[in-house]
Structure 1
Amino acid sequence: MRKSVDNVNGKVAADPGTLLDAVQAVAHLVRSRQLQALRGGQEGLTPLETRVLFYFAHHPGSSLRELTEHSGRDKGQLGRLVGGLREHGWLRAESDEVDRRVTRFFLTDEALKQQQSMLKQRRLLADAAVQGLSAAERQQLAALLEQVRANLEKVG
């Protein structure tokens, strides 16, 4: 496949497929580093357990149904996983005040400490990701990514 050349500055212009590959590669690296940070050295956690903890860190008080809808995973699988996280002291459960049939989940104090460590590592990761970019370039990148996101939301 031949790449087109930008006649203004002579740089090779990336085709849309290459651009999506680059965005996906960056997203994968970010997700991977964030999962490592959330684990905080807890080697016993699986990537899915880590993602579930990350979800409850950002959505405290969510139910299993809400987690299932967000993740698109099997409710039974997630129920077993959440049960294991509770047994290991990472999650605590409370009955919903309005509907006692609904259980709400929250990170435990130990998990919250891990979250603070993760947030610190996330800030370091974000700083490393944009190292060498000026404020104007960061703004431009944010605007371009927002446009890509908006375009993809329009696609059925």
Structure 2
Amino acid sequence: MPTTPTSTPPTPAPAETSLTVATFVAFMTASGHAQQILKARMLAADVEQGLGPLHLHALCLCQRSPGATQQQLVQSMGRDKGQMARLIRELEDRQLLVRTPDERDRRVWRLSLTPEGTQKSAWFLALEATLAEDLFGGLGETEAASLYAVLQTVQTRMNGWEPHA
């Protein structure tokens, strides 16, 4: 009698698992620490209370793509629709972002920055550039290119997964 395949993936060899898990832990630790440093620098610069890196990252995306939609932000930032709707509403309430209805489809809202939103976005981009230089400036060109390629591969893999999967 033929055996039916199981839905359980094969167990990786112990050495492979150890390196994979160690890499994942190092990635998560470095990512979390970088976020903490960014937030600390934002606080030290006395940025408006209640604005975090996520808010400012959304502003930067809107600056790079004027007229972007909420759905485009959801896809670019890997966040759910509800979270992005709240974030956009907060940015609107702070008069950093405005929504205007799309001319062809009134159900779609186009996002654009106010002058103050443009200033905050520019400030945040400069802060990110400084932190990037502090963290990665010592890498050689080959190391930096390799790290970038690996991170792009990881990002591509993550883009296809649902948050609860």
Identical positions, percent: 24
One-letter identity of the residue aligned with 2:99:
A
Structure 2 length-normalised TM: 0.63
Backbone CA RMSD of aligned residues: 3.6
- Could you tell me how far apart the structure 2 residues matched to 1:154 and 1:104 are? 25
**2:29 aligns with one of 6, 25, 28:** 25
- Contact 1:35 1:50 (8 Å CA) reproduced: no
Task: Quote how far apart the aligned CAs of 1:136 are.
Answer: 2.4
Task: Quote how far apart the aligned CAs of 1:130 are.
Answer: 1.4
- Which stretches in structure 1 are left out of the alignment for 5+ residues? 5-13
Match of 2:20 in 1: 16
Which sits farther off after the overlay, 15-24 or 29-38? 29-38
- Which stretches in structure 2 are left out of the alignment for 5+ residues? 1-13
- Contact 1:35 1:51 (8 Å CA) reproduced: no
One-letter identity of the residue aligned with 2:27:
V
Is the aligned partner of 1:115 residue 2:111? no
- Could you tell me how far apart the structure 2 residues matched to 1:79 and 1:53 are? 14
The verdict on how the C-alpha distance between 1:98 and 1:145 changes in structure 2, with shifts beyond 3 A counting, is same
Which sits farther off after the overlay, 40-49 or 110-119? 40-49
Is the aligned partner of 1:73 residue 2:77? no
Task: Quote how far apart the aligned CAs of 1:87 are.
Answer: 2.6
One-letter identity of the residue aligned with 1:15:
L
Task: Quote how far apart the aligned CAs of 1:47 are.
Answer: 6.1
